[in-house]
Structure 1
Amino acid sequence: MRLLLDSFWRAVAYCLHPRVIVLSLAPLALMAIVGVGLGYFYWTPAVAWMREALDAWPILSTFWGWIGADAANFKDVLAPMGVIFLATPVVVVVSLLIVAGMMAPALTGLVAKRRFPVLQEKHGASFFLSVFRSLGLTLLAMLALVVSIPLWLVPPLVIVLPPIIWGWLTYQVMSFDALAEHASADERRQLLRAHRWPLMGIGVLCGYLGAAPSIVWASGVVFAAAFFVLIPLAIWIYTLVFAFSALWFAHYCLDALARQRAERAAEQAAAVPALPESATTDVTAAATSQWKAP
């Protein structure tokens, strides 16, 4: 419990580090660059396509006939808004994936450099192994979410099952990534087995924290007038939650790894038999005579 609370408060404090704040703003900057680039090359064709889709949609034909002459003006406003609403989730997901791929190693390196500068790196997992493992676990989590959807109709389970599934995914991915550079494969397996439940608890708590941006995101969809304010706010909160989660796992896992190595070194030192006093005297005398020899 002490290790859990200590790593929690350290992760909170590290969220105020300038480097963490800059990384949390990176998705917004990347979204702006991608959005401007896509708008420069594809805005006019995309709006034209959306306007044709609105004209061809049978469900809306009655609505266009009802508003009459104002239909053209309404389409001029609705078509750009439709393009923005469709493109924003894609841009957000791509930006978050890119930044998340850069953030976790950077934050783990920050923790290692500041708290554990002498902790040996044993490189127990490669970058590609981490990526393929994360993708496989993400697919399993998505499948579990789809299978569990019927259970969401039971009121208590809808607020329990999704955070548990995302918490399990967070625990599996972030604890592995936090130990990928510093722990050997055997050390990583032993540590994850020994600290399975505390790490799972961290993952579930981070899963509940990850629901906060969804509330802001839903508000941006409902209140279209505040869309351009609430959606960037939701993205920034989501990135900050991701940074906090990565920092919490990094502090916990690296501290646990340092303790595990210290305990193993102490056990190995205790297992070495002590030399008898007479043997120690003979060895010392032999070494002294050898040092004095010409």
Structure 2
Amino acid sequence: MRLLLDSFWRAVAYCMHPRVIVLSFLPLGLMVVISAVLGYFYWDASVAWMRQALDAWPLLSGVWAWIGGIFSSDVKAILAPLLVVLAVTPLIVVVSLLIVAGFMAPALTRLVAERRFPELEQKKGASFIGSAARSFGLTVLAMLALVVSMPLWLIPPLVLVLPPLIWGWLTYRVMSFDALAEHATAEERNTLLRTHRMQLLGIGVLCGYLGAAPSIVWASGLLFAAAFFVLAPMAIWIYTLVFAFSALWFAHYCLDALARLRLQQAVAAVAPPAIDMADAKAAASQWSAP
């Protein structure tokens, strides 16, 4: 428990570090770059296609005429760009978060290692390709578990338990592995994951609940629709900050646990071997014999 609380407050403190703050704003900057590139090459074509799609829906022709009579303007000319933005934004958000997440976790682990454990030897127990393949496989399993468990979400208590538990399991399996990938051997990693399984799973579940925080912004209904261009970046920044906090918490806990494990192994290696009591008694009887 002491290791759990110590790593928690250290992760909170590290969220104030300038490098972490810069990384938390990285998805927003990446979104701006991707949006600018896509807008430069595909904006006019996308708006024209959306305008044609709106015109092709005969069921909505009466709605457009009614709205146009009220506002005395071409509603479709205003609605088409807005629909393009709403349709493309989730894709840009997901791509930006995935790209940043792929670089953020190793960068934050290195930050923790440089500041707290500069003498901890890096034994390279896992490769980048192996880590990425493992993360992909676990993500697929988590998505399947979410789909299979959806009927149970109709039961009110379970909808508050199952999704965070599944995401917590995924977070625990992925981030604990990544936190130890550079420093621990495969044997050390397996030992730590087995010994600290419940603590790491608890960290993952708590981070899973924290990951639901941006849902409050998305669920603001009409307020979100009215202030989309303000609330959407805020929600994305919260997502990134929660991810950074989770990576820092796992990095502090796992590297601290690894340092303790190696210290225990070093002490055990230099400790004198225990004397078997039967052999000691036999030796004492021999010396005491006339």
If the length of structure 1 is used for normalisation, what is the TM-score?
Answer: 0.90
- In structure 2, the residue matched to 1:14 is 14
Which amino acid letter does the alignment assign opposite residue 93 of structure 2?
Answer: V
Deviation at 1:219, TM superposition (A): 2.7
Asked if 2 retains the 8 angstrom alpha-carbon contact of 1:137 and 1:169, the reply is yes
Alignment of 1:86 onto 2:58: no
Q: Report the Cα distance in structure 2 between the residues aligned to 1:99 and 1:213, rounded to whole angstroms.
A: 18
Please, which moves more after superposition, 26-35 or 215-224? 215-224
Alignment partner of 2:50: what SS? helix
Q: Report the Cα distance in structure 2 between the residues aligned to 1:201 and 1:258, rounded to whole angstroms.
A: 21
- In structure 2, the residue matched to 1:25 is 25
Deviation at 1:88, TM superposition (A): 0.3
Deviation at 1:254, TM superposition (A): 0.2
Which amino acid letter does the alignment assign opposite residue 92 of structure 1?
Answer: V
Deviation at 1:229, TM superposition (A): 0.4
Which amino acid letter does the alignment assign opposite residue 22 of structure 1?
Answer: V
- In structure 1, the residue matched to 2:103 is 102
Q: Report the Cα distance in structure 2 between the residues aligned to 1:220 and 1:108, rounded to whole angstroms.
A: 37
Q: How has the CA–CA distance of structure 1 residues 97 and 126 changed in structure 2, closer, same or farther, with 3 Å as cutoff?
A: same
Deviations 1:164-220 (A, max 9, x none): 000000000000000000000000000000000000000000000000112213337
Deviation at 1:40, TM superposition (A): 1.0
- In structure 2, the residue matched to 1:145 is 146
Deviation at 1:273, TM superposition (A): 7.6
Q: Report the Cα distance in structure 2 between the residues aligned to 1:39 and 1:146, rounded to whole angstroms.
A: 34
Q: How has the CA–CA distance of structure 1 residues 82 and 199 changed in structure 2, closer, same or farther, with 3 Å as cutoff?
A: same
Alignment partner of 2:122: what SS? coil
Q: Report the Cα distance in structure 2 between the residues aligned to 1:221 and 1:263, rounded to whole angstroms.
A: 57
Q: How has the CA–CA distance of structure 1 residues 215 and 58 changed in structure 2, closer, same or farther, with 3 Å as cutoff?
A: farther
Q: How has the CA–CA distance of structure 1 residues 44 and 157 changed in structure 2, closer, same or farther, with 3 Å as cutoff?
A: same
Deviations 1:20-72 (A, max 9, x none): 00000000000011111111111110001111111112442342243355586
Asked if 1 retains the 8 angstrom alpha-carbon contact of 2:164 and 2:209, the reply is yes
Alignment partner of 1:229: what SS? helix
Alignment partner of 1:204: what SS? helix
What percentage of residue pairs aligned between the two structures are identical? 72
> Which of structure 1's runs of 4+ aligned residues deviate more than 4 A?
68-72, 271-274
Which amino acid letter does the alignment assign opposite residue 256 of structure 1?
Answer: A
Deviations 1:84-112 (A, max 9, x none): 00000000000000000010000000000
Which amino acid letter does the alignment assign opposite residue 187 of structure 2?
Answer: D
- In structure 2, the residue matched to 1:263 is 264
Q: Report the Cα distance in structure 2 between the residues aligned to 1:233 and 1:68, rounded to whole angstroms.
A: 34
Q: How has the CA–CA distance of structure 1 residues 56 and 243 changed in structure 2, closer, same or farther, with 3 Å as cutoff?
A: same
- In structure 1, the residue matched to 2:57 is 57
Which amino acid letter does the alignment assign opposite residue 25 of structure 2?
Answer: L
Query: Structure 2: 5+ residue runs without aligned partners?
Result: 276-290
- In structure 1, the residue matched to 2:115 is 114
Asked if 1 retains the 8 angstrom alpha-carbon contact of 2:168 and 2:203, the reply is yes
Asked if 1 retains the 8 angstrom alpha-carbon contact of 2:64 and 2:75, the reply is no
Which amino acid letter does the alignment assign opposite residue 49 of structure 1?
Answer: W
Asked if 2 retains the 8 angstrom alpha-carbon contact of 1:220 and 1:231, the reply is no
Deviations 1:203-252 (A, max 9, x none): 00000000011221333775322000000000001000000000000000
Query: Structure 1: 5+ residue runs without aligned partners?
Result: 275-294
- In structure 1, the residue matched to 2:238 is 237
Q: Report the Cα distance in structure 1 between the residues aligned to 2:249 and 2:100, rounded to whole angstroms.
A: 18
- In structure 2, the residue matched to 1:48 is 48
- In structure 2, the residue matched to 1:36 is 36
Q: Report the Cα distance in structure 2 between the residues aligned to 1:165 and 1:59, rounded to whole angstroms.
A: 42
Asked if 1 retains the 8 angstrom alpha-carbon contact of 2:214 and 2:235, the reply is yes
- In structure 1, the residue matched to 2:283 is none
Q: Report the Cα distance in structure 2 between the residues aligned to 1:71 and 1:79, rounded to whole angstroms.
A: 17
**1:192-231 residue pairs with structure 2 within 5 A?**
192-219=193-220, 223-231=224-232
Which amino acid letter does the alignment assign opposite residue 66 of structure 1?
Answer: W
Q: Report the Cα distance in structure 1 between the residues aligned to 2:100 and 2:44, rounded to whole angstroms.
A: 29
Q: Report the Cα distance in structure 1 between the residues aligned to 2:223 and 2:152, rounded to whole angstroms.
A: 26
Asked if 2 retains the 8 angstrom alpha-carbon contact of 1:221 and 1:227, the reply is no
Q: Report the Cα distance in structure 2 between the residues aligned to 1:23 and 1:146, rounded to whole angstroms.
A: 32
Q: How has the CA–CA distance of structure 1 residues 271 and 190 changed in structure 2, closer, same or farther, with 3 Å as cutoff?
A: farther
**1:148-167 residue pairs with structure 2 within 5 A?**
148-167=149-168
Asked if 1 retains the 8 angstrom alpha-carbon contact of 2:3 and 2:253, the reply is yes
Q: CA RMSD in A?
A: 1.6
Please, which moves more after superposition, 91-100 or 59-68? 59-68
